[in-house]
Amino acid sequence: MQPFGPHSSFMHTLVVFFRSHFSTSTRTKTRMSTKPNTLTGLFCALAMGLAVSACGNPGGESNSINPKLNELQQNESALQDTTVHQAYLVHQAFLSNLADLCGQTFVGASTFPEEEDHVLVGNELHARISRCEEGRVDVDLYREGGTVWHTTWVLTMRGDGTQKGGLHLYHEHIGDKVYPEGEEPLTGYGGYADGRGSEWIQYFPADEATAEMLPEAATNEWRMELDRENGVFVYALERHGKPRFRASLQAFR
């Protein structure tokens, strides 16, 4: 291995030059003493040569590998960008399919759990696709029977498909829901759809904001599913990888 990489020929010339000007002969010493600028110039040239050599090949022989490594890194980055963009397009397709049903109401009931003390169990549920605009669809869920209970599933497209973003689910508990005096509505939890879904089904793991707001819901995963052929809309929730709630609603009008 040459000690100065691709610039070794240049360094060799400097060494030869150095030796020829620093002979132990009296004549050379006399010339050096009478021409101090030669010595100064020589040291400057030597310093510049070392600097160029160091900057030109910081990784030694690894420079022959770096171009390939850079190419691989660029390809990986491009692949990640493509994956993010493809997921974004699928998210858009799901939201578009949901928007096609704008104004329709789905009626049904919970299919899990069976405990009667659950706020949404034992009552007829109505889900109405109430708002549809570019990049946003709102679905209002009402409980029939007992006190008024209302939430809105707000689905929005965020980002531009080139970075983290995509389809986001937001639970808005304001609407017509009645809260006891002094109780503030717990609203805003949800998460981004991941890459497992399709234009007919999407999964929404809880985001960091949800984990901060509701630590017990940090492992929540919501699922929305459309069955256009049978006119069925499914909303489900898992926590810690286990079913927590599921409702199956049939298109009514």
73: phi then psi, degrees, rounded to nearest 5: -65, -40
Cβ(97)–Cβ(200) below 8 Å: yes
> How far is residue 159's CA from residue 179's CA, in Å, rounded to a whole number?
34
The pair of three-digit structure tokens given for residue 118, joined into one six-digit string: 């659950």
In the structure, what pLDDT confidence band is assigned to residue 222 with cuts at 50, 70 and 90?
Answer: very high
Whole-number pLDDT of residue 30: 45
Q: At residue 6, what is the residue type?
A: P
Higher pLDDT, 229 or 56: 229
Helix (H, G, I), strand (E, B) or coil at 202: strand
Higher pLDDT, 161 or 69: 161
> How far is residue 234's CA from residue 216's CA, in Å, rounded to a whole number?
24
Higher pLDDT, 228 or 224: 224
The string of pLDDT tens digits covering residues 29-40 is 444 444 445 545
Q: At residue 10, what is the residue type?
A: F
> How far is residue 253's CA from residue 251's CA, in Å, rounded to a whole number?
6
Provide DSSP, 126-178.
EEEEEEEETTEEEEEEEEESSS-EEEEEEEEEES-SSSS-EEEEEEE--TT--
Is residue 62 within a helix (H) or strand (E), and if so which, with residue range? none
133: phi then psi, degrees, rounded to nearest 5: -145, 180
Cβ(173)–Cβ(120) below 8 Å: no
- Mean of pLDDT values over 68-93: 75
> How far is residue 16's CA from residue 26's CA, in Å, rounded to a whole number?
19
- Mean of pLDDT values over 75-88: 74
What CATH architecture does domain 81-251 belong to? Beta Barrel (2.40)
The pair of three-digit structure tokens given for residue 10, joined into one six-digit string: 């240049």
Of 25-29, 93-97, 122-126, 146-150, the one with minimum mean pLDDT is: 25-29
Q: Do β-strands 190-192 and 149-158 pair in parallel, antiparallel, or remain unpaired?
A: unpaired
